[in-house]
């Protein structure tokens, strides 16, 4: 069965790049530009992985990760945080919010796909 990935990214170019690369890798992808819709879309799409931008325009990706992890239906879905926040302590803060993976932007395709595959293979769903 095709693995499903929810991509929460408000930057059009980044969202398209992530979706294109993931689709080329054989994944079913659901893009979300508006962070406020992320949880609702996750419930409808039942992803095997969420790729989450942390610096969204309308809501914090950290808050969304916390909401996912406290949702009975979504708490087991791994989260790969992809962010421009790459300062000292940022990765730990993001992981503490519940993200299982972390990549700093700009993201290279090889490490991105390796992180995605590793998290999808670990996923319960």
Domain boundaries, the chain: 4-122
The Cα–Cα gap between 72 and 61 comes to 19
Q: How many CB atoms lie within 10 A of CB 40?
A: 11
> Domain 4-122 has what CATH class?
alpha beta
For residue 97, is it left (φ>0), alpha (ψ between -120 and 50) or beta? alpha
pLDDT in tens, the chain (125 residues): 899 999 999 999 999 999 999 999 999 999 999 999 999 999 999 999 999 999 999 899 999 999 999 999 999 999 999 998 777 889 999 999 999 999 999 999 999 999 999 999 977 54
Q: What is the pTM of this model?
A: 0.95
Residue 30: helix, strand or coil by DSSP? strand
């Amino acid at each position: 069965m095709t693995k499903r990935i929810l991509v929460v990214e408000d930057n059009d170019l980044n969202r398209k790049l992530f979706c294109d690369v993931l689709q080329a890798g054989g994944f079913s992808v659901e893009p979300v530009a508006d962070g406020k819709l992320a949880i609702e879309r996750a419930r409808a799409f039942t992803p095997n992985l969420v790729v989450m931008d942390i610096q969204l325009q309308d809501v914090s990706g950290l808050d969304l990760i916390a909401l996912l992890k406290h949702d009975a239906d979504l708490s087991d879905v791994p989260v790969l945080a992809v962010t421009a926040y790459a300062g000292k302590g940022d990765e730990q803060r993001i992981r503490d919010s519940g993200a299982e993976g972390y990549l700093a932007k700009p993201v290279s395709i090889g490490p991105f796909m390796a992180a995605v595959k590793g998290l999808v293979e670990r996923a319960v769903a």
